[in-house]
Amino acid sequence: MRVTFCCTDTASEPWLQGLRAALPGTDVSLWAPGTPPADYAVVWAPPQQFFDEQAQLKAVFNIGAGVDALLKLKLPSQALIVRLDDAGMSVQMAEYVCHAVIRHFREFDAYEADTRQGKWSFRKPRDRADFPVGIMGLGVLGERVARSLAQFEFAVNGWSRSSKAVDGVQCFSGAQGFQDFLAASRVLVCLLPLTPDTRDIINRDSLSSLQTGGYIINVARGAHLVEDDLLALLESGHIAGATLDVFRTEPLPAGHPFWTHPKITVTPHTSARTLRSESIAQIAGKIAALQRGEPVAGVVDRGQGY
């Protein structure tokens, strides 16, 4: 059995060593043009040439949660595309989103601004019931975030393409439930996969449908957000602020208005990073299962895009 590794901007040797240890007896190698055909591939942002040369692959393991960039390439028709189920990302995502929600709700950003000026200030405590949180996307990451926020006694709404049930979460689904979901939410968290249907989903219409004083947290993909629409709604006062971890162009270009906007917090696509050891264990387990002819979780539906 052969496994090939092709991950752009990723230190390859620790991954190769880990995969060899987890898959004893397997030929694990770094891909280069002309590399012999492999059975399985571990990839991140591979070039089209990779798939042109590796047309016989049985399965391709993507080391990030999102597969939108991968699905833009011409892939072998028989190859399963397998995404990581979690690999340590869900707890990181829950930390990030809970921090952003609580920082806004408790006005810690305003306190920080005051203390930098040497100002001892007081703000009247807000009512938690006035800050219902809406989670767009109830996959592995979204469900973990929703459950974590519920532990802080926020009212949590969830919206997904198909109907789901999550304890402690008011769930909405489909196009018919989207407007009701937005109207029930003041804080909006995007954890959707990027597909043609979800591109630009955070726009003037959806932002305007949130409760007044809405707050946006985008930890999915930059293309979900229409940037000018957010800026306009911030200017109008309907949206109170945003925490953004993902952007249409990354790194965020110098001079972009998000850098200096007083109501926007920017982080450099760091809300949830792939943890190598957990990812390797998951990939090795799934390769072993596929070799035994068993189904595995995380197989991407190419038609749906996730």
How far apart CA 54 and CA 43 sit, in angstroms, is 12
| Contact assessment for residue 132 and residue 110, using Cβ atoms and an 8 Å cutoff | no
| Contact assessment for residue 54 and residue 74, using Cβ atoms and an 8 Å cutoff | no
CB atoms within 10 A of CB 205: 12
In sequence order, what E strands does the chain have?
Answer: 2-7, 27-30, 40-44, 59-62, 80-83, 133-136, 156-160, 169-173, 187-190, 214-218, 239-244, 264-266
Q: In angstroms, how far is the first alpha carbon of the chain from the final one? A: 27
Annotated active-site residue 104? The verdict is: no
Helices 276-291, 12-22: axis angle to 10 degrees equals 40
How far apart CA 257 and CA 227 sit, in angstroms, is 10
- Catalytic, out of 147, 161, 269, 276: 269
Q: What is the DSSP string of 111-160?
A: HHHHHHTT-----PPPPGGG--EEEE--SHHHHHHHHHHHHTT--EEEEE
Q: CA quadruple 192, 235, 231, 124: dihedral positive or negative?
A: negative
- Catalytic, out of 83, 144, 186, 221: 221
| Contact assessment for residue 177 and residue 290, using Cβ atoms and an 8 Å cutoff | no
How far apart CA 173 and CA 158 sit, in angstroms, is 8
| Contact assessment for residue 27 and residue 3, using Cβ atoms and an 8 Å cutoff | yes
How far apart CA 175 and CA 157 sit, in angstroms, is 15
Just list the catalytic residues.
Answer: 221, 269
